[in-house]
Amino acid sequence: MNESILPKRLRELREKNGYLQKYVADKLGVKSNTLSGYENGTRNPDPEIIKDLAKLYNVSTDYLLGHETEENKYEYFKNKIVTEFPNIDLMFHDMESLTGDDLEEVYEFIKFKKSQKK
């Protein structure tokens, strides 16, 4: 495992999701200073915490640990759309040919359209 990749990815994913350290720490059942240690590389999370972090951020443990160079954008944005817009009926089986970048655009478009209706 590349030791510097885990803290970097944990911080990037938390910020990308708009989560505060306290929120993530509470979800994991750890103290905020423990999570801070994970993110700055002074502490190493145990395997269960790594699994919980991967689930929370919707990435693989391999991605967190630096064994994958890119997160699975397709699955990430598919799950983000389903979670954030549960009333949108998308036929994902018809979208299998889309790339992760394509699905990111779909997500951003839905978010934009929803914001116009407020």
pTM of the model: 0.59
CB 60 within 8 A of CB 54: yes
Residue 2 — pLDDT band, cuts 50, 70, 90?
A: very low
The tens digit of pLDDT for each residue in 64-86 reads 888 865 556 677 777 777 788 77
Give the residue with greater pLDDT, 41 vs 101: 41
CA distance 47 to 87: 35
Phi and psi at 98, nearest 5°, equal -75, 150
CA distance 24 to 14: 8
Q: Which domains are assigned to the chain? A: 5-65 (1.10.260.40), 73-116 (no CATH)
Phi and psi at 108, nearest 5°, equal -60, -35
Is the pLDDT score of 101 beyond 80? no
